[in-house]
Amino acid sequence: MQRKIVEFTNILRKSGVRVSVGESLDAFSALDSLDLDERTLFRDALRTTMIKRAEDIPTYDQLFDLYWSGFYDNLRGAFDEMGGDLSGQGIDLDQLMQQIKDMLESMDDGEVNLSDLAQALLTADLSRLEQMIRDAAENAGASNIENMLQIGFFSRRVQEQLGAEGAAQELRDLAEQMRQAGMSEADVQALMDVAGQLQEVLRKVVRNYMERELQKQNFDYIEKFRRESLLEKSFYNLSEEEVKQMREVVTRLAQRIKNVLSIRRRRLKRGKLDIHKTLRRNMSHGGIPFELTFKQRKKDRPKLVILCDVSSSVANVSRFMLQFVYSLQEAFTKIRAFVFVAELGEVTPIFKDCEITDAIEQALNGGDVINPYTRSNFGFAFHHFWQNHLAAIDRRTTVLILGDARNNYNDARAWCLRDIHNKAKNVVWLNPESPGAWGFGDSVMHRYLPYTDVAEECRNLRQLSKIVDRLLL
Amino acid sequence: MFDSVEKIQTELAAKQYICSKNIATVVYLAEKLMKPVLVEGPAGVGKTDLAKVVAAATGRELIRLQCYEGLDEAKALYEWEYSKQLLYTQILKEKFTEIMQGATSLRDAADRVGASDSVFFSEKFIVPRPLMKAITNERPTLLLIDEVDKSDPEFEAFLLEVLSDFQVSVPEIGTIEAREIPLVFLTSNDAREMTDALKRRCLHLFIDFPDEELEVRILDAKIPGIDKRLAEEVVRVVQQLRQLDLKKSPSISETLDWARALTVMNASELDQELVNDTLNVVLKYEGDIKKAQGELGRLIQKKTAEKPTEEAPVAEEKAVEPAAKKAILH
């Protein structure tokens, strides 16, 4: 048991769940103080001592199933199914077994010698069978399995270790002996069928065992791979499903940034001694300064104006940027969001009225304020902003522009951006294209570059979160 | 003291706290191993209540420390009562002059005062705060540190020290050790993730929304005389509401409020109009209510449509079961 728990701990660790030595010791003492007659009790005890984050609970449950209980259920399922099949053929197993038992009793003990495996199979002693398969798997080195292609190989080895072939032969011999002892022909045939079925079931469950073993060994790999690759994956080629998953990842990242932010803010809190407040506060002590008060330095929260290109090529960047920014709303004093393709319109009100995901979808479709089905024209959009919304920018405003600056050979009108730049605290440009492509073809990025404080490639979530983080610093 | 997990469930149920086996197991282990429990979960699932009920069931005195941003040692552990010290020095002025009489030098005078200054730094002038109270309490104690996620990281670090040793050192007096180690419950709403160091020292309990059956039992226990069918319907609607993508999912306390409201209104079953009128008890945001109202027709219709068909599959399942059981080799 001890060894199995240690092994289970290792598998948890491999899957990215942090379990300290102290925690696994706790698990042992927890198990000592419980009567372990129930599986759920066991599971809860291990969980409460080893799993300390709510996010890890699903992983734990899955692994627990894989490691402790799932296989037994599968075994029982396979036997149930076989029973169902047989009764479909008109074979009543209970009766058959009873008959064999009776006949065995009337025969000499020495004549029929069944191996452990054959006995376990015949009596459907599932827990014994489970233990046998586990032992055989261990002898066959099953935990070394690395990929799908090895399942067949290892299954065969486990079966060899089990002596599956021999057991099947024994059962067939048993049927023969029964015939000689005077069993009816139909029943003998039925027993032969059962023997065949049992062999098949055994083959299936061993294979299933190996599949589980593989999953167990690779659990972390699959999970980690999924998470990592989403962070790195380019926004250009996301499937609809991935967009959904991505949304969750963004929410998590935003939460994390929020946490860091509150710590950062707090560090700034303590300033110089505030003599006025200290005196006021200590009036009750006769003006003797027992309790000190400090001045608090305040850090300006940035104002944000976002200009999002929502043409299809950059829609995803805009989507996640908007989600990010609005998830972190409280970190900014004010956010105004504009979308453009050629025309430019403000979508701030949509975010006030609707829920964030709905609002984003609406905004990406132009939000009734612009026509999204035109060709990108950055110059026109900036000019429009310059004409109508320049007042939105003051020296505390950060302007965030998302777009690939592919202007379809229209006039760039960079002077609009220059004026914006002059008024704003910062102009940040995020471009989903890599810097190598800026200024080639119809890209006018090089024209805008002089008027940006930061211009960066932003092609995946990792880059995006880094930029958001820096924006807030 | 509890001697089994089932006992806890029944004892807590007697105090009208219906809990799942998982919760009972953790409480049992906490008592056995004398380890603090970190309880996490959405708001309103009964995290704080759990601590209160366990205190009542074990006969421990409940001492509660509510955490908030800016909570510091002085508010949590102990504080010197400056004003009282000041007052005493004023009153004892004459005594001082008495002591000082005959002092030959400044040094002599200072020594004489110094000899008795421990008077002013004794337990008499300490205001004990919850942590100190829990440690010095002579009766068995349950210390509830509520919403620990709201406190600052520095406070958390300080808490670690207290939780691992159960002793407090006051520089002027010395170390005060716990007479009896208190049972500690910490609750968190996950506003901030707690450090690994703290988590490592605690057992972890995640309380999620209960399943349908458990929630009906909770309603039953908490609201005496509630119509069984009404309870079931309320729970079913709430469970479905939780499936929606809401800003704030209704928790058990909201279910209870709603059921109470409905019993006061003498309702015996739910219809669309009634639900529409009382939805603001369950949902706390305008947007959520609007969204739910949109889905409501579907929720309630589905329920009535399900009802007749629901009986049939259950009966069928029962019929199949014995056959399947038989089929297993025994």
- The model's pLDDT over B81-104, given as tens digits with 9 standing for 90+, comes to 888 888 888 888 888 788 778 778
Residue ranges in chain A modelled with pLDDT below 70: 69, 107-112, 219-232, 236-237, 256, 259-270, 297-300, 471-473
Asked if the C-beta of A451 comes within 8 angstroms of chain B's C-beta atoms, the answer is no
Euclidean distance between CA atoms A429 and B265, whole angstroms: 59
pLDDT number for residue B308: 45
Does residue B323 surpass a pLDDT of 80? Answer: no
User: In this predicted structure, what is the pLDDT of residue A363?
Assistant: 83
What's the CA gap between A55 and A63, in Å, rounded? 14
Q: Which chain A residues touch B7 with a CB distance below 8 Å?
A: none
Residues of A in contact with B22 (CB under 8 A): 40, 44, 47
Task: Pick the residue of A21, A31, A44 with the most B CBs within 10 A to test the interface with B by mutation.
Answer: A44
For the segment B115-129, what is each residue's pLDDT rounded down to a tens digit?
777 777 888 888 889
pLDDT at residue B303, as a whole number: 56
Cβ atoms of B153 and A263 within 8 Å: the answer is: yes
Say yes or no: A329 contacts chain B, CB-CB below 8 A.
no
Please tell me the distance from the alpha carbon of residue B304 to that of residue A388, in angstroms, as a whole number: 55
Which residues from chain A sit within 8 angstroms of residue B329, using beta carbons? 79, 83, 93-94, 97, 122-124
Residue ranges, comma separated, of all CATH 3.40.50.410 domains in chain A are 250-267+301-472
Distance CA B17, CA B9 (A): 8
Q: Which two tokens stand for residue A229?
A: 């690759």
Task: Average the pLDDT over each of A157-171, A342-356, B178-192, B288-302 and give the range with the smallest value.
Answer: B288-302
Indicate if the pLDDT at residue B144 is higher than 90: yes
Between B192 and B211, the higher pLDDT residue: B211
Q: Does A430 touch chain B (CB under 8 A)?
A: no
- What are the beta bridge partners of residue A334? A303
Task: Check if the interface score ipTM surpasses 0.90.
Answer: no
A431/A402 Cα distance (integer angstroms): 6
State whether A266 and B204 contact (CB < 8 Å): no
Looking at the complex, does the CB of residue A17 fall below 8 Å from at least one CB of chain B?
Answer: no
Q: Higher model confidence: residue B315 or residue A92?
A: A92
Longest dimension (CA), chain B: 106
Q: What is the pLDDT of residue A211?
A: 85
Q: Is A45's Cβ below 8 Å from some Cβ in B?
A: yes
Encode A104-114: b = buried (16+ Cβ within 10 Å), e = exposed.
Answer: beeeeeeebeb
Provide the pLDDT for residue A355.
76
Which candidate from A33, A52, A83 shows the least CB-CB separation from B33?
A: A33
Return all residues near A337 (Cβ < 8 A) that are at least 6 apart: A305, A306, A308, A322, A325, A346, A347, A348, A351, A363
> For residue B64, what pLDDT band results from cuts at 50, 70 and 90?
very high
Tell me whether residues B247 and A53 touch, CB distance under 8 A.
no
Asked if pLDDT for residue B327 goes beyond 50, the answer is no
Helix H or strand E encompassing A457: strand A454-457
* CATH class belonging to A250-267+301-472: alpha beta
**3-state secondary structure string across A293-345:** CEEECCCCCCEEEEEEECCHHHHHHHHHHHHHHHHCHHHCCEEEEEEECCCEE
Confidence (pLDDT) at B52: 93
Hey, which residues does A339 pair with through a beta bridge?
A308, A345
**pLDDT number for residue B302:** 57
Nearest CA in chain B to A257: B192
Residue of A399, A392, A339, A389 lying closest to A369 (CA atoms): A339
How many angstroms separate the CA atoms of B103 and B106, rounded? 8
Q: Which of residues 24-43 of A touch B (CB under 8 A)?
A: 26, 29-30, 33-35, 40-41
Residue B55 confidence (pLDDT) = 93
Q: Could you tell me which chain B residue has the CA closest to the CA of A51?
A: B204
**B328/A97 CB distance under 8 A:** no
